[in-house]
Structure 1
Amino acid sequence: MPSNSAAEHIQDLGAYVSASPSSFHAVNEAAGRLDATGFTALDELQQWEGGVGRFYVIRDGALIAWVTPEGATPTTAFNILGAHTDSPSFKLKPKPTTGKFGWLQAGVEVYGGPLLNSWLDRELRLAGRIVMLDGTQHLTATGPLLRFPQLAIHLDRAVNDGLTLDKQQHMNPVFGLGDPDSADVLAILADSVAGASVDPAQIGGYDIVVADTQAPERFGAKGEFFASGRLDNLSSTHAGLAALIAHAEAAPTGGPIAVLAAFDHEEIGSASRSGACGPILEDILTRISDGFGATVSERRQALSASFCVSADAGHAVHPNYPERHDPANRPILNGGPLLKINANQRYATDATGAAFWARLCGEAAIPYQEFVSNNDVPCGSTIGPLTATRLGIRTVDVGVPLLSMHSARELCGVEDPRHLATVAELFFRSAI
């Protein structure tokens, strides 16, 4: 099983989040864990031998890892757990060093749909990748560097009647004092690369996001809550990673090919080479099938027998806003992972997927809860419908219930991430 207790799992989730301030760090941390448990990294530019074993591929901020069991054939099904590595935040703009009135500021662009007010008055850092003119890439992460300072109530007496933030005017973090002409955000990023000397003048491009610096924390009357940044959706990525490693350590013989697909760019629509709308999953599954000499027809047979669990965080009922939830379906923290349902296929769950999920949770002795939106509240979406549409794989949408989704610091129950990992490990070895 993924770990011995919910407490151990939540502690490890906190360590994973802390090591993963950007999608690039998330896949790097995952790769380190896979390396330590006998997985082999494959290069998309090279020929693959394929066959039985445990492998992974990184493409930018996405990672696909899989375990091919003994006895696999060209028509062996894929059991895929899909998640994503990005979270709503802010991304560093070109010409990022700005400022006025003696303040140094960083130019950032809103990434996805963050709760803007949750990012105010917090110590923040920059993290991501920088790419040199010669093509060399480096991960970088600063220490506490930035802050979005809120206007004092003395200067806005009506602020508690409704805070309005202009994304261009108000969301410009400060990072120092002085003349912008004598400062350089890129130099700070270059100095923050571990184990390498980087010349900021040789930086040709960068994918840098803003991340919270506050450590994840367990709290509550009985320690039942867990607060952290990026639970949407590192809670699912980590659960899938722990489950896949546990599955591999069990040395499976027979059964499906277990796949963890951790995509990037879900928060902005997934339309990228490393997102769920892109070709990455299909590319990898095709190459796995090629390793068995599969024909096109046999590959289609395998996909028809396959299943995808799209794991992304969902909403717990909010005690202060119960009218925003469906009156009959009100998930709670530590009540088990969600089965996410939407009549308009914003989630990919159908009756077949619901029954399969119920079966898995029953066999694992794990509770689960159903989530459906209030009819007057628009429903978000996930990678689930994208994967089902692109590959024709049967898909069900699930996830850990949260409060404060898309906040700089989200809230889940201590039990639920472990529950998700437990069911995911069973899913990886289960025939449909």
Structure 2
Amino acid sequence: MIMNYTEGLFRFIEKSPTPFHVIDNMKQELAEQGYKQLLEREEWKLEQGGKYYVIRNGSAMVAFRVPKGTFGGFQIVASHSDAPCLKLKENPELWSEQAYVRLNVEKYGGMICSTWFDRPLSVAGRLLVKSEEGVTVKLVQIDKDLLMLPSLAIHMNRDINTGYDYHAQKDMLPLYGMGTKGEKESFMDRIAREADVKEEDILGSDLYVYNRMPGSVWGSEDEFISSGKLDDLECVYSSMASFLSAEEHDRIPVHCVYDNEEVGSSTRQGAASTFLADTLERIQEAFGGSASDYRRLIAGSMMLSADNAHAVHPNYPEKACPSNRPLVNQGVVIKFSGNQRYTSDGVTAAVFRSICGKAGVPTQVFTNHSDIAGGSTLGNISALQVPVPCVDIGLPQLAMHSSYETAGVKDLEYMIIAMKGFYEAATEEMENGIKIQ
């Protein structure tokens, strides 16, 4: 089963070079499982036992199932579809020496720049194309080793191994081809040809550079996995797999995937938006509930904020907290932060540990080294709109925000089992504790 999960994850990542592809791939899977798409601009007529999903911006999704009887709250798992990368600017072609064609890009998120050099790259994203109805969205993924970022030889950059400051506008421009300006097919013509549209019909685009290296299983006993976008497609994949396999009860399971976490979440499709709140409110309204009923449902709900965590690095053990040191293949990580960069507290962590214990899943703890500022994730941001009890979790990994990250084979299965147990649980606040059904 472990290798089946790993192979499934690699296939999912390979088909998902951008957030738009992530959502489209999940949309196809949900449709095959009998889920119906809802549009935000239309009235929702929901049924008991119904299965639904709603998409915003083509890059964020909320999927849910309605129980056949009354329901007492929401069991929510939230993750994100984006990853640090290079985003193409408008009019991307830059000519050099009247021969080389480079592409003009900017950084998206906190990427490790050095990991993008000297490896096969390509381009994917969405095109907005003129049509008789107005504008049509077309996804494009060039399945070819199309670009490269060649390193400058060490003879010309003696400081490269002693600390180098990468400049996005100079160092990070990928090489696309050679030719004579005016005679060579333009880059946007190439994109149009791949999408089977006319270049003059393209009215807009959101295009990104992605790493072409396929996922791999490696190590002395095949204990490691490496791939691009493990942060956070490993959690997206785990949430989707557990959501689809969880057994029904009187809670509404919610599979939520936000976009733009890597750049702060403050977009209409990010965790700071009303997307999840709008969806949950409309579910309640569809069954005749009042505003007060909605608040009671929220009070009886819980969320897992699922975003990968830092494992102790074997070469840099001093960077980790002295007493909370997650290891690869040792279980799901619960993340804590004294300054509330993560949502976990004693109550939510205890509930999640109880669920994992019943499922036979080991857990670990991550806290930052107290002298090293850490990152944050979507849990606290989302709670500003949907104030449910939440615990921040993730899978331990190395090389976070590299173009090619590393994690553990066993942990993927641990996460899927833990999330399935969470979806099948129900929490209820008591006078002096939490009841877990």
Query: TM tier, shorter chain?
Result: over 0.9
* Structure 2: stretches of 5+ with no match in the other structure: 428-437
Alignment of 1:69-80 (within 5 A): 69-73=67-71, 76-80=72-76
- Residue 117 of structure 1 corresponds to 114
Matched, 1:9 2:10: no
- Residue 267 of structure 1 corresponds to 262
- Residue 429 of structure 1 corresponds to 424
Give the C-alpha shift of residue 183 in structure 1. 4.1
> Deviation per CA, 1:200-259, whole angstroms, max 9, x where unpaired?
111111111111111111111110000000001000000000011112xx4x1x321000
* Structure 1: stretches of 5+ with no match in the other structure: none
For residue 367 of structure 1, the aligned residue among 342, 362, 365 is 362
Q: Which moved more, 1:155-164 or 1:397-406?
A: 155-164
Look up the SS of the partner of 2:170 in the other structure: coil
For residue 185 of structure 1, the aligned residue among 184, 187, 191 is 187
Look up the SS of the partner of 1:331 in the other structure: coil
Alignment of 1:368-407 (within 5 A): 368-407=363-402
- Residue 310 of structure 1 corresponds to 305
Look up the SS of the partner of 2:303 in the other structure: strand
Look up the SS of the partner of 1:380 in the other structure: coil
**Whole-Å Cα distance in 2 between the matches of residues 393 and 191 of structure 1?**
47
> Deviation per CA, 1:4-62, whole angstroms, max 9, x where unpaired?
x1111111000000000000000111111111212112222222111222111111201
Alignment of 1:10-409 (within 5 A): 10-52=6-48, 53-59=50-56, 60-73=58-71, 76-101=72-97, 102-133=99-130, 134-142=134-142, 143-181=144-182, 182-193=184-195, 197-247=196-246, 250=247, 252=248, 254-409=249-404
> Deviation per CA, 1:150-185, whole angstroms, max 9, x where unpaired?
101122233222233111111100010023444422
Counterpart of 1:340, as a letter, is K
- Residue 431 of structure 2 corresponds to none
**Whole-Å Cα distance in 2 between the matches of residues 276 and 184 of structure 1?**
37
Provide the aligned length of Structure 1 versus Structure 2.
419
> Deviation per CA, 1:95-115, whole angstroms, max 9, x where unpaired?
111121111011111000100
**Whole-Å Cα distance in 2 between the matches of residues 369 and 130 of structure 1?**
42
Give the C-alpha shift of residue 315 in structure 1. 0.2
> Deviation per CA, 1:323-370, whole angstroms, max 9, x where unpaired?
111011111100011100001110011111110111111011000100
Mapped contact 2:305–2:390 kept (Cα < 8 A): yes
Give the C-alpha shift of residue 72 in structure 1. 2.6
Counterpart of 1:203, as a letter, is I
Give the C-alpha shift of residue 125 in structure 1. 0.9
Mapped contact 2:272–2:384 kept (Cα < 8 A): no
**Whole-Å Cα distance in 2 between the matches of residues 183 and 136 of structure 1?**
24
**Whole-Å Cα distance in 2 between the matches of residues 192 and 383 of structure 1?**
35
**Whole-Å Cα distance in 2 between the matches of residues 188 and 78 of structure 1?**
46
**Whole-Å Cα distance in 2 between the matches of residues 225 and 27 of structure 1?**
27
Mapped contact 1:72–1:257 kept (Cα < 8 A): no
> Deviation per CA, 1:77-102, whole angstroms, max 9, x where unpaired?
01100000000001110111112111
> Deviation per CA, 1:278-329, whole angstroms, max 9, x where unpaired?
1111111111111111100000110111111000011000011111110111
Give the TM-score of the pair, scaled to structure 2.
0.94
Look up the SS of the partner of 1:192 in the other structure: helix
Mapped contact 1:84–1:234 kept (Cα < 8 A): yes
Give the C-alpha shift of residue 425 in structure 1. 0.9
**Whole-Å Cα distance in 1 between the matches of residues 38 and 244 of structure 2?**
17
Look up the SS of the partner of 2:22 in the other structure: helix
Counterpart of 2:88, as a letter, is L
**Whole-Å Cα distance in 2 between the matches of residues 415 and 67 of structure 1?**
29
Q: Percent identity, aligned pairs only?
A: 34
Mapped contact 1:282–1:391 kept (Cα < 8 A): yes
Q: Which moved more, 1:62-71 or 1:13-22?
A: 62-71
Q: Which moved more, 1:220-229 or 1:50-59?
A: 50-59
Mapped contact 2:308–2:395 kept (Cα < 8 A): yes
Q: Which moved more, 1:234-243 or 1:389-398?
A: 389-398
Give the TM-score of the pair, scaled to structure 1.
0.95
Counterpart of 1:174, as a letter, is L
**Whole-Å Cα distance in 1 between the matches of residues 236 and 73 of structure 2?**
22
Pairwise CA RMSD of aligned residues?
1.1
Q: Which moved more, 1:34-43 or 1:233-242?
A: 34-43
**Whole-Å Cα distance in 2 between the matches of residues 179 and 351 of structure 1?**
64
Look up the SS of the partner of 2:384 in the other structure: helix
**Whole-Å Cα distance in 2 between the matches of residues 257 and 33 of structure 1?**
19
Higher relative contact order (CA 8 A, sep 6+): 1
**Whole-Å Cα distance in 2 between the matches of residues 238 and 56 of structure 1?**
16
- Residue 430 of structure 2 corresponds to none
**Whole-Å Cα distance in 2 between the matches of residues 298 and 184 of structure 1?**
57
